[in-house]
């Protein structure tokens, strides 16, 4: 069977996008998904996203990690799915869609997607890190020199260690540049490596930086290895609401592959 696919990227976080409204893709075949995401033997991507029909909204986004397993919410993947839906003619400049963690609103203009993330009710603060869930779990550590940080080695140890163990957590390393700008590098579970960018990760970093009083701004600039993202939000008691992740999402190429 020849599979039509599209490759999208959002600040270097890249995804295989498949129009699965007709349920043509064998999504229970995790080995196939893992092979398609393989950068040597497949198309190559951080994850695979299926765009499917929704009973009540514009579409449903189903995200698979590069290991083939169904993942939790992916922020950059969500932005790319919005751009993909626009390209397919499903939406124009605004949308509401279903995802792993519920409904998301988004808008798109000139390839820049602003995605509303789920509300965050609390941020856990510890001696050397913070933890919160922005649709996916995130461990956050601030460092003095992010360039010299062993993101893979340290990130992998934290991801599999207590209290996360097999379920795991994404691990973010952060260096503050100025009042509202932070550099971020992320070890992503499911990919099991550092990625060039992580949307739920930079969202978590923005909220954690505000919670820990590193900034009083509510619009934060996040610099990743794949580009710059913006996160804005409002405080809501101990948590945060009206959280938006904003940045470019673009088509890289499209093609066919035998499956």
Paired tokens of 43: 């198309």
Q: Tell me the β-bridge partners of 34.
A: none
The whole-angstrom separation of Cα 69 and Cα 229 is 27
Question: Are 36 and 103 contacting, i.e. CB atoms less than 8 angstroms apart?
Answer: no
Catalytic residues: 74, 198
Instruction: Take residue 129 and report the two structure tokens written for it.
Output: 């890190």
The token duo for 134 is: 């922005």
Distance CA 100, CA 113 (A): 19
At 30, give phi and psi (nearest 5°): -65, -30
CB-based contact 58:95 (threshold 8 Å)? yes
> β-strands 181-188, 193-195: how paired?
antiparallel
SS3 assignment, position 119 = coil
Which DSSP symbol is given to 225?
Answer: T
Residue 166's CB is within 10 A of a number of other CB atoms, namely 6
C-alpha–C-alpha distance, residues 93 and 109, integer Å = 6
Q: Distance (Å, rounded) from C-alpha 25 to C-alpha 232?
A: 36
């Amino acid at each position: 069977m020849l599979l039509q696919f599209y490759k999208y990227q959002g600040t270097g976080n890249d995804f295989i996008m498949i129009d699965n409204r007709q349920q043509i893709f064998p999504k229970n075949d995790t080995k196939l998904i893992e092979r398609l995401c393989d950068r040597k033997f497949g198309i190559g991507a951080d994850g695979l996203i299926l765009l499917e029909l929704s009973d009540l909204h514009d579409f449903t986004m189903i995200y698979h990690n590069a290991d083939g397993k169904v993942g939790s919410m992916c922020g950059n993947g969500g932005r790319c799915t919005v751009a993909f839906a626009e390209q397919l003619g499903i939406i124009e400049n605004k949308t509401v869609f279903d995802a792993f963690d519920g409904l998301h609103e988004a808008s798109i203009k000139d390839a820049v997607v602003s995605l509303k993330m789920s509300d965050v009710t609390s941020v856990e603060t510890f001696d050397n890190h913070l933890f919160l869930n922005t649709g996916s779990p995130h461990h956050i550590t601030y460092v003095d020199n992010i360039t010299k940080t062993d993101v893979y080695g340290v990130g992998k140890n934290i991801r599999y260690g207590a209290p996360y163990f097999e379920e795991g957590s994404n691990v973010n390393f952060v260096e503050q540049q100025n009042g509202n700008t932070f550099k971020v590098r992320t070890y992503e579970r499911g990919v099991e490596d550092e990625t060039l960018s992580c949307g739920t990760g930079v969202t978590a970093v923005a909220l954690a930086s505000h919670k820990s009083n590193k900034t009083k701004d509510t619009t934060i600039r996040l610099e990743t290895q794949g580009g710059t993202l913006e996160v804005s939000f409002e405080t809501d008691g101990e948590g945060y609401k009206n959280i938006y992740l904003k940045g470019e999402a673009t088509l890289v190429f499209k093609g066919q592959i035998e499956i």
